[in-house]
């Protein structure tokens, strides 16, 4: 097997693994967000409300930290899920705006999973500004498919020339100059 084919095959396996991981993790989050729209609701009491902060390679981030409890069938449940697909915020005011909707000791409606009453969320559904995340796995599946196509059809390569082809192109440019 040629070295550039081996490199491409490694790329296909790596991108395929990332595509599978993204499909499963984002797919599960989107699934929960969508089915939560049909869950029954219960009155919940906010037991604590604040902001978590941290630092990453991107910069400072903030996240609403809201804890709540609710009663079902005489049993108490606790949760901290405001939304499924909850991103961190890189603007403190955005995190505060979401957190301020749930002050401590206030009441709110929580949607709970009837098959697993311990799973609940304060804001069911997919937030409007996060639908673009559904397309991220497709990007990785497309790249994986494209690289696989180039491995199977070396005569039709457009973007990823082999090492030999790149060297020949460089040589012809040098001769022309």
Q: pLDDT, tens digit, for every residue of 131-160?
A: 777 788 888 888 888 888 877 877 766 665
Claim to verify: residue 14 and residue 49 sit in the same structural domain: no
Asked if residue 173 belongs to a domain, the reply is no
Same-domain status, 44 and 116: yes
Residue % of the chain over a pLDDT of 70: 89
62 and 33, same domain (yes or no): no
For residue 25, the model assigns a pLDDT of 82
The model's confidence at residue 24, banded by pLDDT at 50, 70 and 90, is confident
Give pLDDT tens digits for 92-135.
999 999 999 999 999 999 999 999 999 999 999 887 777 777 78
CATH of residue 81's domain is 2.40.50
> How many domains does one find in the chain?
2
Global confidence as pTM: 0.68
Domain that holds residue 51: 40-123
Task: Give the residue among 38, 45, 48 at the shortest CA–CA distance from 111.
Answer: 38
Q: Is residue 119 part of a domain?
A: yes
Whether residues 46 and 97 fall in one domain:
yes
What does DSSP assign to residue 58? S
In a domain, 175, yes or no: no
Q: Does 32 share its domain with 45?
A: no
Are residue 28 and residue 85 in the same domain, yes or no?
no
Same domain, 12 and 49: no
Residue 59 Rama label (left phi>0; alpha psi -120 to 50; beta): left
What pLDDT, on a 0 to 100 scale, did the predictor assign at position 87?
76
Q: Is residue 156 domain-resident?
A: yes
Residues 13 and 64 in one domain: no
Q: Residue 12 domain-assigned?
A: yes
CA separation for the pair 17, 3 (Å, rounded): 21
Alpha-carbon gap, residue 123 to 108, rounded angstroms? 10
pLDDT for 146 equals 84
Is the confidence at residue 64, as pLDDT, over 90? yes
Q: What pLDDT does 85 receive?
A: 81
What pLDDT does residue 159 have? 61
**Is the residue at 108 inside a domain?**
yes
Query: For residue 73, how far is the Cα from the chain centroid?
Result: 34
Instruction: Give all strands of the β-sheet with 41-55 in edge-to-edge order.
Output: 75-79, 60-72, 41-55, 107-113, 116-121
């Amino acid at each position: 097997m040629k070295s550039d084919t081996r490199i491409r095959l490694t790329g296909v396996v790596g991108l395929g693994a990332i595509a599978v991981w993204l499909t499963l993790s984002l797919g599960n989050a989107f699934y929960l967000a969508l089915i939560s729209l049909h869950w029954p609701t219960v009155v919940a009491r906010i037991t604590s409300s604040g902001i978590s902060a941290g630092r990453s390679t991107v910069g400072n981030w903030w996240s609403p930290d809201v804890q709540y409890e609710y009663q079902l069938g005489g049993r108490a449940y606790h949760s901290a899920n405001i939304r499924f697909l909850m991103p961190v915020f890189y603007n403190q005011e955005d995190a505060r705006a979401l957190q301020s909707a749930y002050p401590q000791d206030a009441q709110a409606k929580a949607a709970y999973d009837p098959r697993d009453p311990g799973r609940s969320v304060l804001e069911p559904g997919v937030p409007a500004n996060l639908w673009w995340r559904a397309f991220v796995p497709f990007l990785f599946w497309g790249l994986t498919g494209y690289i696989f196509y180039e491995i199977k059809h070396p005569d039709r390569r457009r973007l990823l020339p082999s090492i030999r082809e790149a060297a020949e192109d460089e040589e012809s440019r040098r001769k022309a100059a």
